[in-house]
């Protein structure tokens, strides 16, 4: 009798693509069980990222995302992105030392306006603080299986007053944060509609379309929350890595700036019409995606029926994890993978070959691919090009004029971000 494979890791793009994309019909489900703390007690399985592929609402989730972030709908958000970009550049010019905070305000501001029509006022805004609390719950405290109840599930049924069962109180606190994250921005829109002053947004558009059933209301609420979480988290993670890498690699930064200056000029920032005219900038963005992978292990998939691949039997119910980090650092695909080198994505002048595009896998696979990937890359293009057009990023200097290496330290369980670090940001003449 063959042993059952309970969890498998896919470390190479070709294998992950064969299974998760080409056979996505049977590889797009999510694991049915989560940790006791994460799933049953805190209730995080209501997140859309954990919705099963056979759940009847899953196609509706995908359709609603496509209506907002599909390729044909991206122009609808251009004014919001460009407006928030100008605010970001102004903040960066006024207080460059606070760039880390400015990045987080920028990423949240864009998605809050698209999802809820809400304009973030800054770090003191209630929704800014709400996002911080929820993301900490999701990425650090809940999913790391550091709770005894995850190893001995029977403990969840014991009386709460017994010594040592503090996990019940923790779960209630985190559950309230989850509810606030799902409900507060959504209820804000409903009140704005009631007061006849709602700004156009994903939520307001759906609520004003027609009378919604309670089930429709729940789906819209969860889709909006997923937009908020995914849009704010990954954009900020990319830009933090970008600032670090530009300080560490001034020659790369200078080449990108020279390309922008030659194509766009020095009088204004690039816009989306320059998308096809800046190949080195696109190569730079791909290398940031690869070098600092934001979601190293993606979100687990689940096989819904028995399968066989390359002579290996894979049992239905197996959890399948795409090891995106391993793909990013695959030496067969990327010679010297630890080296930050955008040139790897510029066609070889003799053969025309380029190395594997990380966009093929860093956003996920098959039916579980990130529905906002085109919007994300478009937004990042506008941000990165404007930053390089307007500023030069370098290492800080000590009192003697020597360079100070920026600290490189990461945190997070599901997504991987750089902790705050210092760089020098100077306005270009």
- The helix (run of H) or strand (run of E) holding residue 78 is helix 78-94
Cα(217)–Cα(115) distance, rounded to whole angstroms? 14
Q: Is 76 a member of any domain?
A: yes
| Rounded Cα distance, 386 and 283, in Å | 16
Tell me which residue of 58, 45, 57 sits closest to 216, measured CA to CA: 57
* HSE-CB of 149 using CA atoms within 13 angstroms: 24
pLDDT computed for residue 34 by the predictor: 62
Percentage of the chain exceeding pLDDT 70: 96
Does any domain span residue 155?
Answer: yes
**96 — pLDDT class (breaks 50, 70, 90):** very high
Quote the number of domains for the chain: 1
pLDDT band of residue 264 (cuts 50, 70, 90) is very high
Contact 371, 69 (CB under 8 A): yes
Per the domain annotation, does 1 fall within a domain?
no
At 322 the pLDDT is 97
Lowest-confidence region among 100-109, 212-221, 345-354, 413-422 = 212-221
Instruction: Assess whether pLDDT exceeds 60 at residue 378.
Output: yes
Burial class (CB in 10 A: 0-12, 13-18, 19+), 262: exposed
Kindly indicate the confidence band of residue 217, based on its pLDDT and cuts at 50, 70 and 90: confident
pLDDT at 143: 58
Which residue is listed with tokens 């209506």? 67
Distance CA 204, CA 208 (A): 6
User: Range of 324's domain?
Assistant: 7-427
Supply the DSSP string of 233-287, one letter for each residue. HHHHHHHHHHHHHHHH-HHHHHHHHHHHHHHH-SSS---GGGGGG-HHHHHHHHH
Q: For the segment 11-27, what is each residue's pLDDT rounded down to a tens digit?
A: 999 999 999 999 999 99
Mean pLDDT of 304-331: 96
Q: Is residue 236 part of a domain?
A: yes
The residue ranking higher by pLDDT, 129 or 264, is 264
CB 207 within 8 A of CB 189: yes
pLDDT band at 1 (very low <50, low <70, confident <90, very high): very low
In a domain, residue 103? The reply is yes
Could you read off the pLDDT of 147-188 as tens digits, one per residue?
788 778 888 888 877 787 788 888 888 889 989 999 999 999
Counting Cβ atoms within 10 Å, is residue 159 exposed (0-12), middle (13-18) or buried (19+)?
exposed
- CA-to-CA dists, residue 350 to 51, 283, 287, 353, angstroms: 47, 18, 22, 8
pLDDT score, position 136: 76
- Which has the closest alpha carbon to 179: 42, 59, 75? 42
* pLDDT of res. 142: 55
Q: Does residue 210 belong to any structural domain of this protein?
A: yes
> Within 13 Å, how many C-alpha atoms sit on residue 132's CB side?
11
Q: Report the first-to-last Cα separation within the chain, whole angstroms.
A: 72
pLDDT, residue 144, reads 53
Best CA proximity match to 226, nearest among 123, 116, 321: 116
- Residue 410 labelled as part of a binding site: no
Q: What is the pLDDT of residues 270-300, one digit of tens each?
A: 999 999 999 999 999 999 999 999 999 999 9
CATH number for the domain including 313?
A: 1.10.630.10
pLDDT band at 211 (very low <50, low <70, confident <90, very high): confident
Query: Over the chain, what is the mean pLDDT?
Result: 90
The pLDDT value recorded for residue 36 is 80
pLDDT of residue 277: 96
Q: What percent of the chain has pLDDT over 90?
A: 65
pLDDT digits (tens, 9 = 90+) for 28-63: 999 876 678 777 788 777 777 778 888 888 888 888
What is residue 55's predicted lDDT score, i.e. its pLDDT? 84
In a domain, 2, yes or no: no
- Would you say residue 139 has pLDDT above 70? no
């Amino acid at each position: 009798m063959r042993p059952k494979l309970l969890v498998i890791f896919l470390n190479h793009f070709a294998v992950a693509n064969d299974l998760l994309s080409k056979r996505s019909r049977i590889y797009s489900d999510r694991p049915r069980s989560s940790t006791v703390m994460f799933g049953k007690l805190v209730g995080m399985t209501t997140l859309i990222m954990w919705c099963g592929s056979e759940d009847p609402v899953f196609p509706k989730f995908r359709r609603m995302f496509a209506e907002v972030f599909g390729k044909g709908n991206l122009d609808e958000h251009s004014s919001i992105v460009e407006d928030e970009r100008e605010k970001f550049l102004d903040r960066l010019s006024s207080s460059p030392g606070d760039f880390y905070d400015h990045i987080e305000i920028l990423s949240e501001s864009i998605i809050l306006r698209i999802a809820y029509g809400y304009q973030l006022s800054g770090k003191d805004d209630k929704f800014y603080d709400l996002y911080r609390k929820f993301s900490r719950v999701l990425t650090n405290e809940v999913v790391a299986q550091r709770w005894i109840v995850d190893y001995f599930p029977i403990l969840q049924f014991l009386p709460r007053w017994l010594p040592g069962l503090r996990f019940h109180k923790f779960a209630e606190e985190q559950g309230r944060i989850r509810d606030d994250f799902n409900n507060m921005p959504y209820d804000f829109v409903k009140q704005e509609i009631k007061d006849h002053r709602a700004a156009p947004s994903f939520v307001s558009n759906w609520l004003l379309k027609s009378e919604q059933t309670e089930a429709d209301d729940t789906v819209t609420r969860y889709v909006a929350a997923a937009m908020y979480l995914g849009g704010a988290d990954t954009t900020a993670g990319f830009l933090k890595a970008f600032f670090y890498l530009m300080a560490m690699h001034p020659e790369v930064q200078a080449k990108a700036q020279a390309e922008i200056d030659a194509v766009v000029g020095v009088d204004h920032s690039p816009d989306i019409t320059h998308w096809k005219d800046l190949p080195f900038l696109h190569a730079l963005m791909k290398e940031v995606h690869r070098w600092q992978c934001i979601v190293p292990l993606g979100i687990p998939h689940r096989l819904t029926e028995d399968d066989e691949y390359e002579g290996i039997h894979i049992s239905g119910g197996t959890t399948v994890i795409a090891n995106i980090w391993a793909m990013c650092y695959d030496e067969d695909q990327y010679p010297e993978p630890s080296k930050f080198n955008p040139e790897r994505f510029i066609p070889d002048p003799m053969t025309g070959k380029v190395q594997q595009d990380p966009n093929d896998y860093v956003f996920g696979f098959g039916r579980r691919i990130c529905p906002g990937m085109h919007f994300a890359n478009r937004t990042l293009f506008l941000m990165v090009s404007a930053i390089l057009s307007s500023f030069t990023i370098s290492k800080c200097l000590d009192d003697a004029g020597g360079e100070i290496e920026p600290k490189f330290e990461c945190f997070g369980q599901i997504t991987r971000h750089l902790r705050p670090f210092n760089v020098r940001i100077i306005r270009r003449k």
